[in-house]
Chain A
Amino acid sequence: GAVVSQHPSRVICKSGTSVKIECRSLDFQATTMFWYRQFPKQSLMLMATSNEGSKATYEQGVEKDKFLINHASLTLSTLTVTSAHPEDSSFYICSARTGTPPYEQYFGPGTRLTVT
């Protein structure tokens, strides 16, 4: 199957700083990528849908000014957590979707963010 990478796999940052997480589709072009968040011992919750060349679509309750998503190319989407606070600590997972039906979605390995 196709491969999706995320970088970094783990990051620790201080409260008030910003952190950027990259999601790359390594061997296919992904016009659409999805960002999920997973709290400890909970399920994955969709944060936003990222479309190449256009603004991301955020789910209800997700602060778009806090979680900046950029999808500048067909193989790269980035999630920037701005002015991070301890409550933003979580596991962030991206998925990349192939461009034609039937669509396939491939998940990255996730990024563990800890804000101190």
Chain B
Amino acid sequence: AQSVTQLGSHVSVSEGALVLLRCNYSSSVPPYLFWYVQYPNQGLQLLLKYTTGATLVKGINGFEAEFKKSETSFHLTKPSAHMSDAAEYFCAVSEFSGNTPLVFGKGTRLSVIA
């Protein structure tokens, strides 16, 4: 069964600094991988996803993630943090071309310090 591990429940960065949120997955078949952001009392917003093809995926708001099969990782990065990036971030995995329900990691809360 697929699973997701997000390292670090809370990450704090200074405004303008690099954002790195870590995600490792477990899957017995080629996975579909996702990053979602959730602001307080709101639903999920898709940041980016990897299905097939290019392993470096660019998303909204300047975020990108790289699928590394050898490391079973899908870390999320952004070169320069903005105050508005402060939120909860979830990594998720699905299998069989997205046929299975998404399995979410526990989430990482990103704080941005002025």
Whether a CB of chain B sits under 8 angstroms from the CB of A46 is yes
Q: What is the interface residue range for chain B against chain A?
A: 20 to 34
Main secondary structure, interface of B, reads loop
- Which residues A26-65 have CB closer than 8 A to chain B? 34, 42-46, 49
> From B101, which residue of chain A is reached at the shortest CB distance?
A34
CA distance A102 to B31 in the complex (A): 12
Question: B41 an interface residue at 8 Å Cβ cutoff?
Answer: yes
Taking a contact as CB atoms closer than 8 A, the residue among B51, B101, B105 that contacts A102 in the complex is B51
User: Chain A interface: which of B15-23, B73-81, B92-100?
Assistant: B92-100
How many residues of A are in contact with the other chain, CB < 8 A? 21
Q: How far is the CB of A25 from chain B (nearest CB, A)?
A: 15
**What distance in Å separates the Cβ of B7 from its nearest Cβ neighbour in chain A?**
14
Beta-carbon contacts under 8 Å, B24-43 to A: 32, 36, 41-43
In the complex, B102 has a CB within 8 A of chain A: yes
Min CB gap A14→B, angstroms:
22
Is A108 a contact partner of B98 (Cβ separation < 8 A)?
no
A107 touches B98 (CB 8 A): no
Contacting A at CB under 8 A, from B82-114, are: 90, 94, 96-99, 101-107
List A contacts of B51 (CB < 8 A): 102
Could you tell me if B98 and A105 are in contact, using CB atoms closer than 8 angstroms? yes
CB distance from B34 to the nearest CB of A (A): 9
